[in-house]
Chain A
Amino acid sequence: MNWKKFFIAFIAAFIFLFVFGFLWYGKFMDPIHKEVPMLWRTQADFGSHFPWLVLGHIVVAFFLTMLYAHFVPAGGAGAGFSLGILLALLFVGNNVIVFAVQPLTTKILWGWIVGDLIQFGFAGAIIGAIYKPSSPTAS
């Protein structure tokens, strides 16, 4: 494992996931989310739970990077993108289940599906572009 590249890839993925999440879910989808206000925390309550949002993104970025490093360590951005899309499919499946049990609108469901595919596809590509395995030591 190339820990230096791993760490840089993890930080870059975290920043991308967090900024994209803020723009897509927090800004672009905000009016759509407000159609079902009872499903969300109030602004003050969200503020007091904000550290969980940061921690959640750190965990996702770390384990996506770890998955890539074990999965296709020399694959490059394309392989990272493919892995990100597969991981996104896992979350999309979960979104579809959530849609069946929570009173989400179809606009919210589609917004989450598209958001997950873009977010994890690109996060995987970023990791793939940065992470390179350690070169073998010459014997």
Chain B
Amino acid sequence: MKRFIVAFIAAYVFMFFWGWLLNGVLLKDIYAQTPNLWRPQSEMMSLFHWIIIGQALVIFAFVMIYASGFAGGGVIAGIRLGIVLEIAAIGMRLAIYAVQPFPGKLIVYGSISGLIEMIIVGAIVAAIYKPAPARMST
């Protein structure tokens, strides 16, 4: 449980700063091309706690999936899980692209950065979380 919490916090901190760097700095100009799709800056700030809650949910689900079936495979297993989950997320992104008028390059950049993000998240979680050793029966 202790390692679960430490892995969760470490991955969360990474995701928070990655999200800020990517969405708040690097992709800022692309977001600005479709202002009608986004809340005004002041409104986003007033809803900022939802971003924190959403990122926490994403990381919680990731660590839960890892701890339930992938732990023990080491960093490679964590990276593999990150890749599989992000490709599923790319599928969702494509479906959303069909219904919302996002610029195509936002989907491409978002998917590439999402893949990098989930690979690093997987590596962090796997490096920290270790399954409890099985109890020996006498």
Contact = CB atoms under 8 A, between A and B. Distances in A.
Interface of A: 21, 38-41, 45-46, 49-53, 55-64, 66-67, 70-72, 82-83, 86-87, 89-103
Contacts of A86: 61, 64-65, 68
Given A99-B47, A100-B50, A101-B39, A89 B57 contact: yes
Contact of B54 (A41, A72, A83, A94): A94
A40 B50 contact: no
B127 to A, nearest CB: 20
Contacts of B55: 93, 97
B27 to A, nearest CB: 12
A116 B55 CA distance: 17
23 contacts: A38-B36, A41-B99, A51-B98, A53-B98, A53-B99, A55-B94, A56-B93, A60-B91, A63-B87, A63-B91, A64-B88, A71-B68, A86-B61, A86-B64, A90-B65, A91-B92, A93-B61, A96-B50, A96-B53, A97-B54, A99-B50, A100-B54, A101-B39
Interface in B57-108: 57-62, 64-65, 68-70, 84-85, 87-101
A96 B57 contact: yes
What's the interface size class on B, roughly? Answer: 35 or more
Nearest to B23: A101
Interface of B: 23, 36-39, 43-44, 47-48, 50-51, 53-62, 64-65, 68-70, 84-85, 87-101
B97 A52 contact: yes
B114 to A, nearest CB: 10
B54 to A, nearest CB: 3
B11 to A, nearest CB: 12
